[in-house]
A = this chain, B = another copy of it.
Amino acid sequence: MTNSPTLKEVAQRAGVHVTTASRALNPATSSLVNPATMRRVQAAARELRYQPNAMARGLKTARSMSVGVLIPDLTNPLFPPIVRGIEDVLASAGYTTLIANTDNDGERQTTLFDTLRARQVDGIIVATAHREDRIFTDAYAEGTKLVLVNRRIDQSDIPAVTGDDHDGIAMAVRHLIDLGHTKIAHIAGPQNTTTGRARLRAYRQSLEDAGVPAEPSLVMMTNGFTEVEGARATRTLLDAGRRPTAIVAANDMIALGCLDVFSERRLSCPQDISLVGFNDMPFIDRLTPPLSTVRVPHYQIGAEAARMLLDRLGNPDLPAKSITLPATLVLRESTAPPS
Contact = CB atoms under 8 A, between A and B. Distances in A.
Interface of A: 1-2, 4, 51-56, 58-59, 64, 66, 73-75, 77, 80-81, 83-84, 87, 96-99, 101, 114-115, 117-120, 122-123, 142-145, 256, 282-283, 286-288
Given A51-B118, A52-B118, A143 B74 contact: no
Determine how many copies of this chain the complex contains: 2
B54 A56 contact: no
A59 B74 CA distance: 30
Contacts of A101: 84, 87
A296 to B, nearest CB: 15
B77 A81 contact: no
A5 to B, nearest CB: 11
A118 B287 CA distance: 43
Contact of A143 (B2, B96, B282): B2
Nearest to A120: B55
A48 to B, nearest CB: 13
22 contacts: A1-B117, A1-B142, A51-B114, A53-B118, A54-B120, A55-B55, A55-B59, A66-B119, A74-B83, A74-B87, A77-B80, A77-B282, A80-B80, A96-B115, A97-B98, A97-B99, A98-B98, A256-B286, A283-B283, A286-B286, A286-B287, A288-B288
